[in-house]
Structure formats: structure tokens, C-alpha cells
Structure 1
Amino acid sequence: MDFYAQGLKLSAAGEHARAIEAFERALGANPSDGRVLFALGNTARALGMGQAAENFFRQVLLAEPGRTEALVNLASLLRQLDRHGEAEALLRPALEHNRADADLLLALGNTRREQGALDDALSLYREALVCRPGFLAALVNLADMLAEGGHEDEALALYDQALKAGNNAATAQARLNRAVLHLARGNFKDGWRDYAARIQVPGKVPQADHGLKRWSGESLKKTRLLVTTEQGVGDHLMFASVLPSLIARAEAEGGKIILECEKRLTPLFARSFPSVICHDWELEQRHDGARSHYGWLKKIGGANAFIEMGSLPRTLRKSREDFPAPHRYLVPDAAEAQSWREAFAELPRPLTGICWRSGLSGGARSLAYAPLELWAAFIRDLKGSVVVVQYGAQDAEIAALEAFSGRKLVVPQGIDQKQELDRATALISVLDCVVSAPTAVSWLAAGQGLATFKLQHALSWTTFGSDREAFGPSAKLLLAKTPAAWPEVFAKTKAEIDAL
């Protein structure tokens, strides 16, 4: 039996553990087989076994020092582990021997981009396209960077070039990225059209077993409409902004809304949208991808149509004028809010909540967040009290902020702000304002109409070309287009808070 071929088949099907068994049997017959070692590296990485994956890739490179795919995959793994210097040191010598290798140029460009060396990254992407015209990944990455840098027309032309390959899974991410640019420019028609491509992006939307037809905006008369979850918590909270319009339409036309909720949000949404049937999201993580199950639908009377929550704006938010302002759509638990009000009663006001990162970091995500020392400099001179609303805050982070700023932070006790989102919402409701990185916390605040200052590095499509979050207009965006701009952004934020 060809155990290598069997392993490839199993890995392609997502059965990585069984694939490793097959590859190990193949390796037993030929311990130095580079094909098998490379496949083992990829499979180990898919299973989150970073050290094992690194070892396998390095074994491949010992035997074949110039093997591009091993160099690229190892560099990608090192970037994922925040070892960018090692990734760069791996790639540069390889490029000295083969400067015309577009894959190596792309890999080094990605590395330099995540290191903040943006001009270098742009040059490397352009060079990759000279070596391989039409290189999809380089086109999209270059377009993304140009869009973030304000060169929107050039970026749009590159997205259009990338999409000449057609509308398929390979180009879905490019189409989704183009959607972001269209929407950031206030082009709702083309933006929402392209935003539908997210459904084609592998791993973006779970497979569903409800078997329902997709709602496309027709009358809701006699319709039980299932609104499905597909996004992370932050997007779930943001798109919930559209639910009041959908609910009003359903009530006017004789329909009913059934809302699938991320479990941590179910109590909050049930209180905020009392006429809606809320049910926990039943998600299964399988070897071949995530699946959403809907056996519960029949027990509550069923549904005869569905729509993803992220698809609602295409029907209900066709222009800037369709977004209500002001807009308060999240309702905190009154008793829980009162308990936090009492807990904070003796603190000097104003109460400013801070959240400096998401729960995920590393690689490109690290560029989205201001350095901790700049947060410390910001809070040093803030009036009142600074309350930590960072979920998953590490003791070392708190200690560093206090040491650098010279002030004591208020760290809420007896609450897991990541898991207890309903309680966290109530906590945030008693603050005077929140300053946050682009995280779910900013939406918990803005959804309640709280003065929110969102500090962001990347292009924000959800403002549609303004400085306000359209879905939660009490949130103001302060954009740092380059890392050097963070101090100015913090200064503007402090001035905004002082003016409240």
C-alpha cells in the first residue's frame, strides 16, 4: 500500500491524526523521504503541533536546502509564532540564490509587513508580481496594503485584476477584501455584493444542516425566518445592530424571527430583543470543518427561510441614511448593572474603561494594536479612574501598565469578562466612556450608546468613510495609519475624553 498517498488523502479530508499515522508508516520504509517529511510538517501544523512541524520542515531543508515550499511553510510557521526575525533570516539567504522566486518574495514580503517595514513589503510584493505576473496572493496583499495606505484607486484596480480568474473559492478572499474597500468608500451596492463572497471563503462560514432556502428580502408574511450565526463575537454584536429593523419589518408583515446566538450572548440578546426566539448556537468542530446543527428547530416550531446575520445589511442597510443615529440596541441586566454601580461608587469620576487588544495576537494581528507602553503613557494623565475591561487581561500586562503609568488600575473582581459577556455588558454600562482596540468590547459599549473611542491601525470599512461606526454611532474611530501615528491618536483620544 502507498501510505504516503493514503496520508495525503486523509489530510485533504481533514483527518490529520490518521494522516500522521499513514505518513509515519511511509517514513518507516524510507526515513529520509522529503515528500513524507514535508507532508508531516504540514499535518502537524494543522493539528497545532508547532514544534513538531518546525522539526519536520527543518529535516526537509537539511536534505534539500533550497526547497521553496519548505522554506515558505517554515517561514509562515515562524511568523505565526512571532519569530519574525528567524523567518527573515531563513528567507533572505534563499533569495540571494534565487531572486526570481515569487513564492520566496511573497513570504519575505509577508514577514516584513508584519514587522512593520511597510515600504519593504510593498517593494517585495511588486517584485513578486514582476517575476510572476498575475500572482493572486501577491496581487491581493499588495492591494490590501495600498488600500490601508490610502491609495484606493490603485488598490481597486489590483483587486479587479485578481478577480479576472473568476468567482470561485480561490478568489473569494480577494472579492471579500474588495468589499471592504468598497464599503470603506461608502459604496454600499458593490460592497454588500462582494461581501457575500465571505460565504465561499474556506472556514469562514460553518456548514449548516437546516436545509432552508435563503431569504433575499421578500415579504416576511407567514415566514419564520432563522437568522444564523457565522461571525466572531464582535461581528455578531455589530450586526445585531440591524435586528431592530428586521424585527419591526417582521411584526409589520406577519413574520417571526428566530435568532441563533453565540451561547455567551444568548441572555443579552434575549433581553435586548424580547419578541425574538433566541437559541444557543450548536456548533460542532469536525475534521472536515465546522458544522452548525439545527435539530432544535423542529422543537420550537421550525422555520421556512434563513439568512446569515452578516447578510442582513444588504437588504436593510443599503445607504448611510438607513443606519439609525443615535442607536442603542443592547439592554444590560439592571440588577447586575446596579451591583457594579455600587462597587464603583467611591471611585473618582469619570470612569474610563480600557481594552488594549483582542484575545488573539501574533503575526499581522499585532500591528492592529498600540504598544502597551503607549497605553500606559495615555492613562498616566487621564482624569478620574481607569477600569480594565480587557477580557483575558494578564497579570503581567496589568503590572506593566501600572508601572509605566504610575497609577493604580481598577481591575473588576469576581467576573470572567471573556466568558460572562452579559455581566461584562452590565459592567460597561456604568462607565462614562470606553477606549478600546478593535474588539468585541468596543461593540458592547457602542451597542449601549456609551461614548466609545476605537483605536485602530487598519482600514475600517464599518465607518463607510466617516469617523463614526455606522452600526454603533456612539463609537468614534481614531485611525493610526502607521505605527508612528499612535502617540497622536492617543493625544486626540484624551482631548475627546476631556471634552465629555
Structure 2
Amino acid sequence: MPDAEALIDAPNPSLQTILEKRFAGDWAAVESLCLTSLAHDPANAEVAWQLAGAQWRRHAPAAAENTMRGAHALNPGNANIVAAMAQFVAEQGRYGEAQRLYERALKLDPGATTPAVDLAEIELRNGDWRRGWARYEARLGRADRAHNSIVSIMARVAPHWAGQSLEGRTLLVYSEQGNGDDLQMARLLPALAARVQHEGGRMVLACRQALHALFSRHFAPCVEIETQAYAQHGTPDYCLPIMSVPLMLRLKPDDVRGTPYLAADASRVEAWRALVHARTPRRDALQIGLVWRGDSKHRRDAQRSMDLETLDALFSVPNVVFHPLTPGGAALPASVAHCDLTHHYQLGFDDVAAHVSTLDAIVTIDSAPLHLGGALGVPVYAMLDHVSQWAWGSAEKQRWYDSVTLFRQPRPGDWQPVVARVAQALHALASARA
């Protein structure tokens, strides 16, 4: 890192240059450019935020916190800076302090969306679901939401359902966020459908194409949202995003059960079992599903994903064949026994469900296959970053899936202990099978 004198003498980089490096994912360059810029203009809150973001993505949330505290000293009373401080405090697992900072940011700017949603996730993490689910509705009020986003489109289709009578009316429940969120919340759809029916109404589920074949076997009527197939059921009277279902059911932590609630298609399972048997390089080995990277557009993908080199301890476990579960990802090295069948996924998650139902277990980061495996009752070893999604709390216990075991980073960015423990778990699984 350049010294302070060199920073002062260097030309002040423009914000555009910094943003170009950010969009390229060159976080080291972003950090260097921001330090140079702040040496010229220490009170520039936007550059401080870019610096903190780069530090966070490089697994240094404490440095990011310090950066924003410095910005706060020079820009007191700025709600965005206080919210940023809260974010990086939360990323270190100091949830009580982060909650107080978020509350302070919302006092400064009561209409702010992001700190309200982040505060809601802390409340949900801590089990305060009465406040958390209600506050989580703030996500729907984003002023910068794209015109073609699903929430924006559905707002033009029908008004948001807030508990009005459904007698003689149709409620359209729709996919809103990631596939993992849909899989997690699908457990609640039968209860909501029963309520709608009891009130004399009708519920239609509109899900993403990737989930349609799987969901349509469990919930009816179920249509693909991308093709606007919900129109075949007439114009709905109300719409409800699936992440609002817990609020409408007044869901409490004790209401959640970890038993499986989805099942793969039996005929597809048999076809996938034959395919795995024919293609695996070792039929006598453990067959383990593997996910090590998620969607790069995810807000916390830098925290939850890892490089292949990080998995060396896992790849050293003998008598294991790994099955990548995400199409289009980096290929596993030839030195690792593996069987990539993702090009056979024709029906989205219905094929993934059948595939993993033939495997001995899944090893995955915090992504959709974690929720899929748990919903199916397949053994899952979940490799979590230090903070991870709110649903996983702050320890290594969770209520959502009986078949899921959590392995959490002891500190931000430290995957080595996690991978080592999962490798031990695979050793134990192989021994038990033997």
C-alpha cells in the first residue's frame, strides 16, 4: 500500500475512475484510488463509501467500519453514513450495536429503505419476528426500483394484498427475490392457500420458470411468471410477493418445522440414478453435490462464495466423487474425481431435485441448493460465511431444515476451518457407509 506522502502527491482520481474499477471487480484498485482521493478530499463521503465497500469485499469489515466512522466525524448527521456504519458493524456479528445504529439512521431519515430492511433482517435473525416481518415490508417501497422489476410489474397488475377479504376474489402470489427465498418460503403456501379457500377466494402461484416444474407438482394452480401465464386465470384482484407470506400468516419462530415439504419426481429420480450410475468415475464412492459459488449479482456474493483453491482439504477426502450443481460454473480440476451432469438439467430445479435425491449429501455455500436439499430432506453440509443470511441466526443452529448442518466461519473471510470441518464430516460419512 502506498505511503501517505505518495498519496498526497498523486493526482486526485475521479469518482468515474473509481467506479470503473468497482464495476470491473478490481477491489484492490478501488481501495488504492479511494485512499489517494481521500488524501486530497478527506470529507468526500461518496469516496469513503466506495473505499469501505472495497474493504468489505476484501473481507475487512472492521477496516470498512473505521472508514465510515472517519467519514461520520467529518459529516455528522448523515443518515447514509450512519447506516453504512451499521452495515459493517453487523458484518462483524455485533448485531446489538448494529441495531442501535440502524435505528439512529432511521431517526435521521425515517423514509430510508435499505436501513429499514437491514434492521428488519437483524430483528428476524434475533427471533423478533413480530417487528421483523412488518418492517421487512419496507423493501417494497424502494423509490429506485426498476420499472421492469417483478415487484413493479406486479404493482401494475393488481394492488398489494394487505389482508382484505378474499371472498370471490383471486390472490396472485409471485416469486420476488432469489430462487432460494422461493424454496424457503414454499413451505408456507399450503397454509396460505387454506386461508384463502376458507375465505371463499382462490390463490394462484406465479413462480419463475426454473421452479415451475417442481412447484407445479405441489401447488395448483401454478404458472410461469416470465410468460405472464397468470393471465389465463383472469385478472387477479390482489397480488402478494412470496416474501410477504410470513407477515400475512403472522409467522412466529415456533411455527417453523424442519421436516421435508418438497419431493422430486419419482420417475426422474430413477432416470437420474441410472445416469449417475453410468457416468460417475467411481460407483463405490460417496456421490456428493457441490456448490462453491453463487450469483455474482448477489449483494453478499463476495462473502458467501469461494475460489476452488479454498476447497483443497475437501478434495483430499478419499473415495468421493463430486457433482457440481450449478450450470455454467468453473470446471473442477482433472485431479478431483467429479461428475458434471449439469448440461442434463432440462426442467430447472425439478432436475436438480431429482439429481440430488440420488446423491449421498450436498456440500454447498449459502445458495438455492442449500434450501432445495433441506426442503427435500437430503443431507446438506452448509458452508456459511461469518454473518450469512438472517435465517441462519448467529451460531450453528437453525430451525428451517432438519437435514441441514451448518458450518460457520469463525471470522470474516476465513474459510479454512469451515472446509476442514466439512472434510471431517465427509470422512465420517464415508466411514459410516463402509
What's the TM-score bracket when you normalise by the shorter of the two chains? 0.7 to 0.9
How much has 1:186 moved relative to structure 2? 0.9
Aligned 1:290-301 pairs, distance under 5 A: 297=230, 299-301=232-234
Residue-pair matches, total: 409
How much has 1:221 moved relative to structure 2? 4.5
SS at match of 1:225: strand
CA distance in 1, matches of 2:181, 2:299: 21
CA distance in 2, matches of 1:97, 1:270: 59
Correspondence for 2:216 among 270, 274, 283: 270
In the alignment, does 2:138 pair up with 1:192?
no
How much has 1:408 moved relative to structure 2? 1.5
Correspondence for 2:389 among 460, 475, 493: 460
SS at match of 2:217: helix
Aligned 1:35-184 pairs, distance under 5 A: 66=12, 71-168=14-111, 171-184=112-125
User: Cα–Cα, structure 1 residues 373 and 119, in superposed 2: closer, same or farther, change >3 Å?
Assistant: same
What are the Cα deviations for residues 294-332 of structure 1, in whole angstroms up to 9, with x where unaligned? 6x5553244333211110011325211111231x22221
Letter in 1 for 2:275: A
Letter in 2 for 1:313: P
What are the Cα deviations for residues 337-390 of structure 1, in whole angstroms up to 9, with x where unaligned? 111111223622432111001132699522322332121321311543222213
CA distance in 2, matches of 1:376, 1:305: 51
In the alignment, does 2:291 pair up with 1:355?
yes
Larger displacement relative to structure 2 (486-495 or 443-452): 486-495
Larger displacement relative to structure 2 (253-262 or 181-190): 253-262
What are the Cα deviations for residues 33-65 of structure 1, in whole angstroms up to 9, with x where unaligned? xxxxxxxxxxxxxxxxxxxxxxxxxxxxxxxx6
SS at match of 1:358: coil
CA contact (8 A) 1:156 1:178 kept: yes
CA distance in 1, matches of 2:231, 2:325: 39
What are the Cα deviations for residues 52-98 of structure 1, in whole angstroms up to 9, with x where unaligned? xxxxxxxxxxxxx65xxx73343233122121222223222222222
CA contact (8 A) 1:214 1:306 kept: yes
User: Cα–Cα, structure 1 residues 154 and 413, in superposed 2: closer, same or farther, change >3 Å?
Assistant: closer
TM-score (norm 1): 0.75
CA contact (8 A) 1:182 1:191 kept: yes
Aligned 1:367-382 pairs, distance under 5 A: 367-381=303-317
Partner of 1:431: 359
What are the Cα deviations for residues 248-285 of structure 1, in whole angstroms up to 9, with x where unaligned? 33444543220011112111111122xx21111137xx
Letter in 2 for 1:280: E
User: Cα–Cα, structure 1 residues 194 and 497, in superposed 2: closer, same or farther, change >3 Å?
Assistant: farther
Q: Percent identity among equivalent residues?
A: 25
What are the Cα deviations for residues 163-222 of structure 1, in whole angstroms up to 9, with x where unaligned? 113443xx1011011111111111101111111111122337333255534333466544
User: Cα–Cα, structure 1 residues 311 and 362, in superposed 2: closer, same or farther, change >3 Å?
Assistant: closer
Task: Provide the alpha-carbon RMSD of the alignment.
Answer: 2.6
User: Cα–Cα, structure 1 residues 166 and 92, in superposed 2: closer, same or farther, change >3 Å?
Assistant: closer
CA contact (8 A) 1:175 1:194 kept: yes
Larger displacement relative to structure 2 (303-312 or 457-466): 457-466
How much has 1:247 moved relative to structure 2? 2.7
CA distance in 1, matches of 2:425, 2:309: 20
In the alignment, does 2:165 pair up with 1:236?
no
CA contact (8 A) 1:356 1:390 kept: no
Partner of 2:329: 393
CA contact (8 A) 2:324 2:341 kept: yes
CA distance in 2, matches of 1:165, 1:387: 50
CA distance in 1, matches of 2:55, 2:91: 16
Larger displacement relative to structure 2 (175-184 or 234-243): 234-243
User: Cα–Cα, structure 1 residues 375 and 108, in superposed 2: closer, same or farther, change >3 Å?
Assistant: same
CA contact (8 A) 1:348 1:385 kept: no
Letter in 2 for 1:113: W
Letter in 1 for 2:118: N
Partner of 1:316: 249
Letter in 1 for 2:303: L
User: Cα–Cα, structure 1 residues 413 and 476, in superposed 2: closer, same or farther, change >3 Å?
Assistant: closer
SS at match of 2:354: helix
User: Cα–Cα, structure 1 residues 134 and 451, in superposed 2: closer, same or farther, change >3 Å?
Assistant: farther
CA distance in 2, matches of 1:92, 1:123: 13
Partner of 2:416: 487
Letter in 1 for 2:194: A
Correspondence for 2:204 among 246, 258, 261: 258
CA contact (8 A) 1:269 1:278 kept: yes
In the alignment, does 2:354 pair up with 1:411?
no
CA distance in 2, matches of 1:423, 1:224: 31
CA contact (8 A) 2:313 2:423 kept: no
Partner of 1:329: 261
CA contact (8 A) 1:355 1:436 kept: yes
CA contact (8 A) 1:223 1:256 kept: yes
CA distance in 1, matches of 2:231, 2:43: 59
TM-score (norm 2): 0.85
CA distance in 1, matches of 2:352, 2:53: 36
CA distance in 2, matches of 1:127, 1:173: 21
Letter in 1 for 2:39: E
Point out the structure with max Rg over C-alpha.
1
How much has 1:498 moved relative to structure 2? 4.5
User: Cα–Cα, structure 1 residues 302 and 468, in superposed 2: closer, same or farther, change >3 Å?
Assistant: farther
CA contact (8 A) 1:72 1:107 kept: no
CA contact (8 A) 1:354 1:388 kept: yes
Larger displacement relative to structure 2 (217-226 or 253-262): 217-226
Name structure 2 gaps, 5 residues minimum: 1-10, 430-434
CA distance in 2, matches of 1:375, 1:252: 51
Partner of 1:51: none
What are the Cα deviations for residues 378-431 of structure 1, in whole angstroms up to 9, with x where unaligned? 131154322221332223xx12xx44xxx32121164148x7332122111111
Letter in 1 for 2:226: E
Letter in 1 for 2:362: V
